Amino acid sequence: MANLPEHNPRLAMILMICATAFIAVTTLLAKAIGTGTLGAPLHPLQITQARFLFAALALGSAALILRPQFGAVDLKLHILRTTCGAAGVTLMFASVAFIPLSDATAISFLNPVFAMVFAIFLLGERVGPVRWSAAGIALCGAIILLRPGSGTFEPGALLALGAAVILGLEIIFIKKLSGREAPFQILLVNNAIGLVIATLAVLTVWEPPTFAQWCALAGIGVGMAMAQTCFLNSVARADASFVVPFSYGTLLFAALYDAAIFGVIPEAVSILGAIVIILGAALLAWRETRASKA
C-alpha cells in the first residue's frame, strides 16, 4: 500500500482553505468565458474539457520531475469519482452564465452539507451535535447569501443545486480513494480519465477559442490542479465531515476577487452571510482541536 498522510486536522483545514481560493479563481475565469467577456461564449463542456486538459498537462509535468512511486489503482472508484466531478463542474460552469457568480457559488457549495449526510451512510462516519450545529450555521450563512424571495431559484440556480448534490457525492469517492491511494496518484488517474470522458463529450460542440480564452482555459486547468492537490491532501488528513464545510470559503474568495478585480463591493447581506459561514467553520475547528487534545 502507498504511504498515506498522517491524521492532521489543523493542516487539513489550511489545505482546504487554499483549495477554495483556487476554486474561486477557476469559477471567475469560467464566468468570463461563458458570458462572452473574452470572445464568443464557449459551451460549458468545452470549458470542462480544457480544465482536464491543462490540469493533466500540469500534473503530468510534475510527475516527470518528481517521479513518484505508485501503488494499486482502484479503477472503479476512480471512474465513479471522475464522472461525478466532471458532471458537477460542468453544471457549475453552466450555472454561472445565467445567474450572479455569488449566487451560483453559494448554491453549489451547499455540497459539504450533502457530503456530510452521504458520509454518514456511505463512510460510516459519526457526526455529533457540534458538527451538526456547525454545518447548520454554515448552511444558514449560505441561505442568507441566496437572498430567499429575490428570484434566485431559476433554471440557472437549479443547475448550481444539481452541481452541489453531485459534487457532494464526489467528495465521498475522494475520501474512499484517499484511504487507499496516495493523493498525487489519485490526481493523475482522475485527470487522465476525466480528459478522455470530457474529450468525447465535447466533440460536437467544440469551437476555436480566442487567444484570451485559451489563456483563461489554461488558468482554469492549472488552478483546478492546484485546488485538487490541496483538496485531496486535506481530506486524506481528517474526516470528510470535518474538512468539507471549509469549502464554503470559496464564497469569501469569490467576493474578494470581485472587489479587487471588478470593483464590486459586497452588500450588507453578503457580509452577514460570510460572517455566519466563518462562525460555522470556526466552531468546527474548535471542536476538532479539543477532540485531538483529548
What's the angle, vertex CA 150, arms to CA 140 and CA 23, rounded to 5? 55
C-alpha cell at 19: 483549495
Residue 294 lies in a domain: no
Average pLDDT, integer, range 182-206: 89
Grid cell 486536522 is found at 9
DSSP string, 173-222: HHHHHHTTS-HHHHHHHHHHHHHHHHHHHHTTT--PPPHHHHHHHHHHHH
Residue 102 lies in a domain: yes
Query: Which pLDDT score, from 0 to 100, does residue 49 have?
Result: 92
Ranges 24-28, 106-110, 113-117, 181-185, most confident = 24-28
Query: Which pLDDT score, from 0 to 100, does residue 209 have?
Result: 93
How does residue 176 score in pLDDT terms, banded at 50, 70 and 90?
A: confident
**C-alpha–C-alpha distance, residues 79 and 90, integer Å:** 16
Number of domains the chain contains? 1
Query: Which pLDDT score, from 0 to 100, does residue 294 have?
Result: 57
Residue 29 lies in a domain: yes
Q: Which helix (H) or strand (E) holds 56?
A: helix 44-66
DSSP string, 215-246: HHHHHHHHHHHHHHHHHHHHHTSS-HHHHGGG
Residue 4 lies in a domain: no
pLDDT digits (tens, 9 = 90+) for 42-69: 999 999 999 899 988 888 888 888 887 8
Give the global pTM. 0.74
Query: Which pLDDT score, from 0 to 100, does residue 1 have?
Result: 45
Residue 1 lies in a domain: no
Domain span at 215: 9-289
**C-alpha–C-alpha distance, residues 57 and 13, integer Å:** 27
Residue 202 lies in a domain: yes
Residue 56 lies in a domain: yes
Query: Which pLDDT score, from 0 to 100, does residue 168 have?
Result: 87
**C-alpha–C-alpha distance, residues 282 and 243, integer Å:** 11
Mind spelling out the 3-state secondary structure of 119-171?
HHHHHCCCCCHHHHHHHHHHHHHHHHHHCCCCCCCCHHHHHHHHHHHHHHHHH
**C-alpha–C-alpha distance, residues 167 and 170, integer Å:** 5
**C-alpha–C-alpha distance, residues 163 and 44, integer Å:** 13
Average pLDDT, integer, range 144-149: 67
Query: Which pLDDT score, from 0 to 100, does residue 238 have?
Result: 80
Average pLDDT, integer, range 3-30: 84
Residue 270 lies in a domain: yes
pLDDT digits (tens, 9 = 90+) for 214-232: 999 999 988 888 887 888 7
